[in-house]
Structure 1
Amino acid sequence: MVVLMEHNERDNIWIFLKPLSLDLWLTTGAAFIFTGCVIWVLEHRVNTEFRGPPEQQLGMIFWFSFSTLVFAQREKVVNNWTRLVLIIWVFVVLILTQSYAASLASMLTVQKLKPLFTDIEEIKRNGCYVGYQNNSFIKGFLTENLGLKESMLKAYKTIEQYNDALSKGSDNGGVAAIIDEIPYLKLFIARSCSKYTMVGPTYKTDGFGFAFPKGSPLVSYMSTAILKVTQEKSLMDSIESKAFTNQTICDDQSAKISSDGRSLHVYSFGGLFIIAGAVSVFSLLMYMYSFLCSHWPTLRAMISSESSFWSKLVELAKHFDNEDLSSHHLKRRTSRVHVVDTPDDQAIGALPDANDMHNHIVVTNETVENNIDPNENDENLSSGHIDSIVNQ
């Protein structure tokens, strides 16, 4: 089946959304939110950066998980279970970002051609016209084997009519596809180059037949020759090349054709999401088990109370919201804080004024003079006399 091809529009303003399919976008967003909630639960009781007013905590859930897209998270994590979750999640984010970048780069830089239709069922659903070669067995094959209505078929005689019908399209008096024998279609595509392509499955038919009189000795020779030609691929390739050597040489379309401009689907990353989800759930369950074991006496008292179920649930949530003062991280932060009293006159004492300093000098000098020995030489006496004059 030959159909018209169209170029992908690379100037589409929403092309940045095409690398990922809708289901993968939704799954990735849900995974980001779920991971943010798990990290908040694991860090809320032991990390002051995950505490605060409700609106701040809600913002932290979204900010921390989505900031891992560009590895811009600045908040430190202190829980080992959180570190385990982040190791797996950062690996998932790395794979997603690299795949997205590669797919988007391919869409923006590589010229791709997309067929308007990919199979006969799509043409039938859209109610499009189909062309065939006039006076051939193709018409009966289309109605009997493929279930096409005769009113949706159009017959053509020449390659030029094929080209004109496909160029117009089904809505403008032409057809959406041409179904014919492969040799004829290859000849048509060779002349039209990249405007058309063959898509869909290849249907087997009885093909051509050779008639001989009954009892003719040529039947066995012809059958042997036909089998030899069809079973030797090299011989068939040489015959085909000779038949199309004088036709226009076209570029290899296999590198350009994109059957659907296919986006990445969630199935391609299903294993990554399963591993990340399993690790997150496991870490969360282990942390909750540790919390229940360490606070079981208090929790048992709450459960055994006669209040309603919702009241018990609220009390349990309030108890979980409390800061875990037994955490090693919180103890270390508390030990670094020291209380410093404001200095006052009673603690330090008043500073001495100028008179006190003068009196202190006088007393010191008098003490030195009194300690002078009378038997000292004249030089010492002179020194003492000078000191006494200065001190008067």
Structure 2
Amino acid sequence: SDSECEYSTASISTGQKAKSCRKPSAESNGKRKMQPHATSARASKKTSTDIDIFGISKHRNIPNKEHSLDQLTSFFVNRVANGCERRATTTDGEFYIDCKLETALAADALSHLEKAIRRLQVTNENLPDPPPLCQKDTRSEYEEIAWPLGYDLREALIKTTTKGFSGHIEFDTEGRRTNFVLHYSKLGKESQFVYAGDWDYKTNIINKKDHVEDRSLALKPGSKIRVVTKTGSPYFSVVDTPEGKIYRGYCVDLIDMIFKYIKESTKEHFEYEFYVAPGNEYGNQIEGTNKWTGIIGELVDYKAHLGICDLTITSERNAVVDFSIPFMDLGISLLFREEDPEAPDRFSFIKPLSLDVWLYLATTYVIVSFVLLVCARMSQDDWVNPHPCNQNPENLENIWSLYNCMWLTMGSIMTQGCDILPRAAGSRWIAGVWWFFALIVTASYTANMSTFLSNSRRSNVINDVKELSEQNKISYGAVYNGSTYRFFQTSNDTVYSKIWSVMNAAKPTVFTTSNLEGKDRVTRSNGKYAFFMESTSIEYYIKRNCTLKMLGSKLDSKEYGIAMPKNYGFKGKIDHAILSLQELGELEKLKKKWWEDEDNQEHCEKIIKEEDDSGSLQMKNTSGIFLVLGTGGILGTIVAIIDFMFHARQISVKEKVTFMEALSSEWHASLNPRALHKPTAPPRSAPPSTASPSPQRERSQSRAVSVLRAASSFINFDEIY
């Protein structure tokens, strides 16, 4: 309206006729009734018979200091209240105030101030100028220069009562507003705010006037239930086919089973559709606002009815949306790469000593054997009477051949001893020093062998979160801004706080945007990166990648649930369906289908390694000992066969029989386990040949016999003690 009205705001709220106001034009005739709006303030209901619409218009010019104080205040009231209208209907006599809630409160505050100033009855002549703004440090300094009328104005504000756009205006002694009524509305089926009741300050009770269904509780006829989700195996994925897009995954099957059960139990049929949340994310609160992103944001804004994926139930999320009963239990665990299997070391018994030590030891063994041989040959006490009964023997005997010297030194270093010992002082001294050397070597070998085996059984790979926090070679991370991220960020546990500090300070960042990215990073890291994630996702990945494993136990206990807007009408039916499916074992079958069977080419089965608490050696580490034993046995057998054939050859020459006869006779006599004795010569099967051998053959035989006798004299094969 262009008419200028000289009335106070209070006269509007009380429904009184305005003074000097022109009747509104036909275009603005009161045939409209304001629809309630989310940001509108509803005024008190009054009955009027002759007033249609009142408008508050601003003054043409800002008043100057010549105007009175109440005129100045009235000017600002009109400026603030500009645009607010009171509209009435001729049918029911009710009117509404159509303006922003903030505008209505500001107008009421200024109107109340105007009334209080009028109550002071102050004129321009006796109105003192107010002091500078209160910038004093103490109350006493403030009171010294305080505005004299300040206290009176405060008392006037408290004692003044009025009616405004927002209803009754009154303050208590502390300056708080009292005796007011709050009207509240709900979103109805048509997405319009509908008056639903009020709250009275005096009674502190909410009075519900009408039964109004929330928009979140109502579905329009023929509308579909919108299910928001995010892509990620095995929960939800989109497959493009010639027929169109196909949705598949654990969540798709779960929703199908839930609504199928509801249809069978209640005979109610619902249609539903899936769509991916903006940004394909779970949802986080936008800092400084009440808005959310992702799946949670879609539910908070009532753009979706259900939200399902690997969505963890947390207190922060549960404050803005409701959750169904959990359909899956889980906890935070650690995904790590299996260490590469080590090739079995068959000759691990050699590792306690280095290669150069083994070479020095073998060389020393040969040298000491030769030194002992020389000393034993030089020492007269080692030359003994072969026939003790004969006091005047023609020959003396020395048992210390190279064979026996090496046998003594070998038995000593093997800690087995020997059945022959030196008699002379020099040879005994050599043997004693060798025994001392053998004692130190064997003791050092035994100690190093024990240490080596202990170190080989001690794995360098971490086994739990505590060990992870105590090392700095392996980095670790989680999904950024996910529930696992929040768990470590808000934890008061010492170990978890330390892990959070390390992750947050890591450069480059150890956080990822998804579980799949974290899994790929673990696979590529070759044991240098670990990833915190939900145990269910870890179970899914280790079934399809045999190089991955889950370390340690679960750090916490949490659940996945189906999110929905607050007070969703079908929550009870969904909860009942999930509980029934759990009791029937359908959820466990569904998990087995998507975790073990679907899209699984590897079918990895983790074999639990049973560690022996006694620390016993494994066959893979001791097979080299058996190999040495077998090699030595084969070599010994070959030497024995050669010696046996050489002996048979000697008998054939001595007894003038054929080689095969001597070999057969010795074979039967030597290998008979029941016979403890055998004849010195085999029985002759034919008379000896009388033909004399040729001179050339005799010379060859004599040279061969001489060589064998010389070797036998040096090595002394015939004297084996």
Using the size of structure 1 for normalisation, the TM-score is 0.36
Q: Which has the higher strand share?
A: 2
